[in-house]
Amino acid sequence: MSRNTTDKTGIVAAQAALPAKISRTAYNAQKKRRSLMIASASTLTVVALIYVLVPLAPGWERVKNSFFNWEVLVRTFPKLLDAFLIDVMIFAWCAPAIAIWGLVIALCRDARSPALFPLRVFATVYNDVFRGVPVILVIYLIGFGIPGLGLSRTWSNPYIWGSLALILSYSAYVAEVYRAGIESIHESQRSAAKSLGLSHWHTMRHVILPQAIRRVVPANMNNFISLQKDVALVSFIGPVELLRQAGVEKSLLANFTPYVGAAIIFLSVTIPATRFADHLIARQNRERG
């Protein structure tokens, strides 16, 4: 009776029911094996269900033929890859421009002196506008609007204006990431730099920015991964890059498989890049933890 009243949580009774002695490592290994088995079994079940159930849908044969047609894929894939080079090219010149212009905007937003107030207003309005308007709309407005001014032939090139639109849009996002990085640097670093007699600009350039930019590399990676696929939007004003090429092939062959091919190509770049960004974030968390 007295035992019952002291054992309110039932721990004494529970302990009595346990086997006498067990190796902890053996027990943990056993637990790990068990979780692995459960995970594999549930994954297999889901895959099997999809494999069995989807073909039961009434339109499956039609979908399979027009979206997952092996011959069409093999025939169009080399051309898609060629077209993808254009995406890579546009990305290659936009990315550094965005990294730089985004930094300029971030610095303008951070300007403290009253003489630079107009810059601050400009950067704030800039960010509001370009983060608030869909990228595709910016591409249309700039891509059709500026050449409409009647520029010479060399300047009415959709590559130039499409790229400019991407740069303007993405810089707004990248600037916000930089700004978060700048604000994450502890005030004591500024104090230390100031106490040594460094100017505001020197403090920014040599003390704050190097730390801030490093800190936001993973976050910015995500921006550049989504830029990587948004490059395809430039096709809406002309350039025949991957998405547009897939559209052409689709029309020629009356088959949607080229779109799936295009998706595969984009994924083959974005998935490794995303994993790499995750890896960087995890490493940073470990270092800071």
Partner 1 sequence: MRPQPKIELNDVRKSFGDLEVIKGVNLSVHRGELVCLIGSSGSGKSTLLRCLNLLEPIDEGEILLDGYDISHPMLDPQPIRQRIGLVFQSFNLFPHMNAFENVMLAPRLNKKISRAVLTPKIEALFERFELKDRMTHYPDQLSGGQQQRVAIVRAMAMEPEIMLFDEITSALDPELVSEVLDVVRQLKSEGMTLVLATHEMNFARDAADKVCFLDKGVIVEEGTPDQIFQNPSEPRTRAFLRSVL
Binding residues (CB under 8 A) for partner 1: these are 188-189, 191-199, 202, 206-207, 210-211, 214
Nearer to partner 1, 131 or 214 (CB): 214
Q: Cβ 113 to partner 1, closest distance in Å?
A: 13
Q: Cβ 213 to partner 1, closest distance in Å?
A: 10
Q: Cβ 182 to partner 1, closest distance in Å?
A: 14
Q: Cβ 205 to partner 1, closest distance in Å?
A: 9
Cα dist. 9→12, 14, 96, 119 in Å? 8, 9, 62, 66
Distance of CA 271 to the CA centre of its chain: 10
Distance, CA of 108 to CA of 115 (rounded, Å): 12
Q: Quick one: tokens of 254?
A: 């009356």
Neighbours of 34 (CB within 10 A): 10
Nearer to partner 1, 30 or 199 (CB): 199
The angle that helices 217-230 and 257-288 make with each other, rounded to 10 degrees, is: 170
Nearer to partner 1, 150 or 197 (CB): 197
Q: Cβ 188 to partner 1, closest distance in Å?
A: 5
Distance, CA of 242 to CA of 256 (rounded, Å): 14
Q: Cβ 204 to partner 1, closest distance in Å?
A: 12
The DSSP result for 193-225, as a single string, is: HHHTT--HHHIIIIIIHHHHHHHTHHHHHHHHH
Name the residue among 109, 112, 103, 122 with its Cα closest to residue 200: 112
Name the burial class of residue 274, with classes exposed (0-12), middle (13-18) and buried (19+) by CB atoms within 10 angstroms of its CB.
middle
Nearer to partner 1, 211 or 274 (CB): 211
Nearer to partner 1, 142 or 207 (CB): 207
Nearer to partner 1, 136 or 198 (CB): 198
Q: Cβ 215 to partner 1, closest distance in Å?
A: 10
The angle that helices 60-67 and 257-288 make with each other, rounded to 10 degrees, is: 80
Nearer to partner 1, 51 or 201 (CB): 201
